[in-house]
Copies of this chain bind each other. A is one copy, B any other.
Amino acid sequence: MTYNVQIKVMPLKDLLDPQGKAVLGGLNNLGLGAVADVRVGKHITLQINAASEAEAREIAEEASKKLLANPVMEFYEIEMIQ
C-alpha cells in the first residue's frame, strides 16, 4: 500500500535563521509590521510503498536521519497523512 507522509524540517530553536530574518525584513518593508518573527524550513512529502503504516513511518524516520535533516542545525517532525 502507498502511504503519504509529510516531514517538517526546521532550524533548531536556539539557532539563528538568516532566511527567516530576511523574510521578516521583507514583510515589515511591505507594511506587515504585525509579523514579529519568522522561521523558514523545509516541508517534504513522501509517497512510500509499505506493508503497514508503522513500516512507512520507520522508512520516513530513516530518510530523515540519513538525508533530509541535518541534526546539528535542524529538527524534524513526521506526520502520516490520511
Q: What's the nearest-Cβ distance from chain B to residue A63, in Å? A: 5
Interface residues on A, range: 20 to 34
Q: Secondary structure of the A side of the interface?
A: strand
Query: How many copies of this chain?
Result: 2
Residue from B32, B36, B42 in contact with A40 in the complex, judged by beta carbons closer than 8 Å: B42
| List of B residues within 8 angstroms of A37 by Cβ | 46-47
Cβ of A70 within 8 Å of any chain B Cβ, yes or no, is no
Residues of B with C-beta under 8 A to A8: 43
- A63 near B2 with CB under 8 A, answer no
**Which residues of A does B touch, CB under 8 Å?**
2, 8-10, 20, 23, 26-27, 30, 32, 34-50, 56, 59, 62-63, 66-68
